[in-house]
Amino acid sequence: MPDTEMNGAESLVHTLLANGVEVCFTNPGTSEMHFVAALDHIPGMRSVLALQEGVATGAADGYYRMAGKPASTLLHLGPGLANGLSNLHNAKKAGSGVVNIVGEHASTHIALDAPLTSDIEGIARPVSHWVRTSDSAAAVGRDAAQSVQAAMVAPGQIATLILPSDTAWNPGGVAQDAIELPTPAPFDESQLSQAAQALDGPETLLLLGGGALTENNLETAGRIAAKTGCKILSEWSNARLERGAGRVFVDRVPYPIDIALEVLKPFKRIVLLGARAPIGFFAYPEKPAILTRVGADILTLADAGADHAAALSALAGATGARETPPAHVSDPMLPDRPQGRIDPESLAALIARAIPEQAIVVDESVTTGRAFAPATKGARKHTWLNNCGGSIGYGLPAAIGAAVACPERKVMCLTGDGSAMYTVQSLWTMARENLDVTVLIFANRSYQILRGELTNVGVGNPGPRAIDMLSLDRPALDWVQMSRSMGVEAVRVTECDALESALEDGLASGGPNLIEVVL
């Protein structure tokens, strides 16, 4: 740490760096200018500018999922934080660690009720596990170190540190060295014997989530499945899932409620490891919200914050599965090359054929993407990220964070046109940072999932005004023009041959590019 006297902002930067926070996704304002100045003259922190705060918070989510450590965001007062809440909600549901730095008016200015004055702590609490307002320049370094510590509580937490601008500009800052980071909690060993006994045959299910979905942990789960005859599934939405040829394939609990009920109906006993008991995304008339069969015996061996590797290893030992070859290993197999107009099935096949080795696939394709999982199971090894919070507009920002965390890996972002419009500013940041991201926009020119939901909630024969509220025409969005205006090269395709060629060119380009897939 430097020997010269620091202000609070400088102590903040030094402390974040000492505690492994090396990236800041930023959208600053006046109250954060001393932090901006500190970032300018203190080397080590990569600052990535976002044109809207939801891009910054979503990028921090994607970064944590791939780097395994938090980035910081820099947000301007309460309204700036509020703009980022949607993707902080998604990050919280994904178990991602994020350190939010939110500027506040100087303590002497708050009483004047200036136009941007707000209850920042009140705005932060619903999406944060830890919230603190620093009360002096001397406290900033300590508070920053503790914010990183809070963000690293397994599986990852949202920490929001609020800095009145006078705590940033006043002298007396004290940088903190690296502090001890928390470790995952132990799994529930009292349930181990019962869990091992429960997994016996095809009427039993091992349901996985969170850290149980690494390559090594899936291999252990595959051994348990082979030894006991149980089935393995993952939650519908997963923060990070390792997939592809040579890895144990785990299918997801389906999103459509009727299909999920049918898939889960056979299971009399379910062991949860990093997952929650399955429930529906929404309530529907005349349909259950709990998706497991009535009377199913559900046992939690390890919750989201537990040591999933230790739990799976112990479960493999208790079932005698440690030396058993794993079941459900995906063979290297690609779908046949499709021809003609693009539809969801041919789209899935082309994506499977195009996925590069060790690619990161950021998936926000709720309706179009339902055919992707079976088609891509035998693709080259890759990592798959889902939207875990259900608030749309996550895909493009998360792709930014993943690309910043793993510059040596290709990133593919799969998203619908409606979802992408929520955080379309992401394209500008991709261009500015020259990120290796290939974006596929599925342009069905509607909120297609909501058209299906009209039927699911019992609305029959919707009229033209209802359909109009779910349509993205009048005018149609032109993704090629939008993308090029923000510095990202783009093409529009309607045929399989054209999409195959666009994917090959885009993935080989080494920089950001966009493909508008007209469906």
DSSP per-residue string spanning 372-405: HHHHHTTSSSEEEEE-SS--SS-HHHHHHHHHHH
The stretches of 201-287 forming alpha helices (DSSP H) are: 215-228, 257-264
Residues in the chain: 519
Check residue 139 and give its pLDDT.
98
- Which pLDDT score, from 0 to 100, does residue 462 have? 75
Predicted pLDDT at 472? 76
Give the pTM. 0.95
> Model confidence over 8-41: pLDDT tens digits?
999 999 999 999 999 999 999 999 999 999 999 9
Residue 460: per-residue pLDDT: 67
In this predicted model, what pLDDT tens digit does every residue of 248-267 receive, in sequence order? 999 999 999 999 999 999 99
DSSP secondary structure, 152-205, as one string: TSTT--EEEEEEEHHHHHSEEE------PPP-PBPP-GGGHHHHHHH--STTEE
Q: Tell me, what's the pLDDT at 466?
A: 75
Quick one: pLDDT at residue 455?
A: 64
Q: Which residues in the chain land under pLDDT 70?
A: 1-4, 446-460, 470
Query: Degrees (nearest 5) of the Cα angle 260, 155, 74?
Result: 110
How many whole angstroms separate alpha carbon 10 and alpha carbon 34? Answer: 8
d(CA 464, CA 469): 9
CA distances from 209 to 130, 236, 238, 514 (A): 24, 9, 7, 31
| Under 8 Å between Cβ of 152 and 97 | yes
CB 425 within 8 A of CB 455: no
Please list the residues that pair with 194 across neighbouring strands.
Answer: none
Q: Helix or strand or coil: residue 88? A: helix
pLDDT reported for residue 448? 62
DSSP per residue, 292-324: SPTT-EEEEEE-TTB-HHHHHHHHHHHTT-TTS
Domains and CATH numbers, the chain: 6-173 (3.40.50.970), 189-318 (3.40.50.1220), 344-518 (3.40.50.970)
Query: Residue 26's beta-bridge partner residues?
Result: 49, 74
Half-sphere exposure of 80 (CA within 13 A, CB side): 25
Using CA atoms, how far apart are residues 454 and 322, in angstroms rounded to an integer? 48
